Structures are given as structure tokens and as C-alpha cells.
Amino acid sequence: MDRIFADGRRIDRALKSAVKGAIRDHQKRNAPVVVWRNGRAALVPAQQLMHSVISPKSISPKREAAKKRRTR
């Protein structure tokens, strides 16, 4: 269990998959997704989010640093 949390890749993949699934569900229902922007909750059309759901910005700095250490 400690290895899974220390590495983080499995967790990142699981979270990305869950987010994609949730956005797809919202798209099917034509329902907006609630996101946190500028310190407030905001409704965003799911179609807008699908294009940016797995952007480089979505990876946390700690995970990015761990990824760099693993590739050395």
C-alpha cells in the first residue's frame, strides 16, 4: 500500500479515469459540471471541460517532481 501512495502513478490514472467518466456522464445528460474557480463554485458546460481534462496543468507539482525523480 505504501508503494502505491509513494509512486502515485496508479492513483493519478484512477483519478483521471474517474474525472473523464464523470464528465462523459454530464455530457450525456447535457448537465453542467461544478468546478472551483477563483475561490468560488462555478458551473461549466461539460463539453468545455472534456478538451482540457487531462492537461499538463492538471498534474500537481508534487506528482510532477516525483515523476522527474523516477525517470532519472
Q: Which domain holds residue 25?
A: 2-70
**Helix (H) or strand (E) run with residue 24 in it:** helix 9-29
Q: How many domains does the chain have?
A: 1
- The pTM for the full model equals 0.58
- Which pLDDT score, from 0 to 100, does residue 38 have? 92
CA distance 69 to 30: 41
- Which pLDDT score, from 0 to 100, does residue 34 have? 92
Better-predicted residue by pLDDT, 30 or 67: 30
Average pLDDT over residues 28-49: 90
**Residue 46: band (very low, low, confident or very high) from pLDDT cuts 50, 70, 90:** confident
Average pLDDT over residues 18-38: 91
